[in-house]
Amino acid sequence: MILLDRVTKTYSKDGPPALNRISLHIEPKEFVIIVGTSGAGKSTLLKLLSREEKQSSGKIVVGGIDYDTLKPRHIPLLRRKIGTVFQDFKLLPQRTVFENVAFALEIAGMTNREIHATVPKVIDLVGLTGKENKFPDQLSGELKRRVITIDHGRVTSDQAEGSYKQ
């Protein structure tokens, strides 16, 4: 489970907050795509979840771990459990779009039945329907940026707003 309770992130005392009192609750096996315009706070949110950045205020709990009490030495262990792939991610070149998504879901622990039910939904959500059998080198740079990250069934993307452009 991911829980954000009134989370704010500011980078300077005088500037506007990158995130302002964001509350979010994501259950296990639920997948989420984060969309927004440039500067909307998508990357900041992902950096907070992976503990690359610390929130200015509010509470973050991921998988039962309260980030306020997380010791610095445990951050690498946390990051192994949270899958976040940013826009420069490279897909596995020898696998199709379908196989790349299925592989990520398999690593996340989904059963074959769950994988075959979920992959088409995920592909549709990121606007890659019709490209399931394409290999990464057959995709444009824009399509490659429709990156999918899986962590126990959760899907996040750092460039999902591009998924609605054709």
- For residue 89, is it within any domain? no
Per the model's pLDDT, the better-predicted residue between 155 and 95 turns out to be 95
Query: Which of 81, 110, 135 marks a domain boundary?
Result: 81
- For residue 91, is it within any domain? no
CA 145 to chain CA centroid, nearest Å: 12
Please give the radius of gyration of the chain, using alpha carbons only, rounded to the nearest integer: 16
Range of weakest confidence among 5-9, 87-91, 98-102, 158-162: 158-162
Instruction: Determine the pLDDT at residue 151.
Output: 37
72 and 107 share one domain: no
- For residue 90, is it within any domain? no
The model's pLDDT over 12-69, given as tens digits with 9 standing for 90+, comes to: 989 899 999 999 999 887 777 787 888 889 889 989 998 989 999 999 999 889 999 9
77 and 135 share one domain: no
Query: Which of 81, 105, 120 marks a domain boundary?
Result: 81
Query: Which of 33, 50, 81 marks a domain boundary?
Result: 81
What's the structural domain count of the chain?
A: 2
Instruction: Determine the pLDDT at residue 16.
Output: 93
Q: Which pair of structure tokens corresponds to residue 5?
A: 């309770």
- CA of 128: how far to CAs of 96, 109, 110, 149, 161, in Å? 12, 23, 21, 15, 13
Domain of residue 15: give its range: 2-81
**C-alpha–C-alpha distance, residues 166 and 17, integer Å:** 32
pLDDT bin (cut points 50, 70, 90) of residue 145 is low
Instruction: Determine the pLDDT at residue 83.
Output: 61
Instruction: Determine the pLDDT at residue 160.
Output: 42
Instruction: Determine the pLDDT at residue 36.
Output: 80
Give, in degrees to the nearest 5, the angle at Cα 136 between 130 and 140: 75
Beta carbons within 8 Å of 37's beta carbon, 6+ residues apart: 161
The model's pLDDT over 113-122, given as tens digits with 9 standing for 90+, comes to: 999 998 898 8
108 and 140 share one domain: yes
Portion of the chain with pLDDT greater than 70, in percent: 80
- For residue 88, is it within any domain? no
Beta carbons within 8 Å of 141's beta carbon, 6+ residues apart: none
Instruction: Determine the pLDDT at residue 90.
Output: 60
- Residue where the block lists tokens 């440039």: 38
Task: Output the CA torsion 121→46→152→79 (10° steps).
Answer: 150
- For residue 140, is it within any domain? yes
Q: Which pair of structure tokens corresponds to residue 50?
A: 């992976």
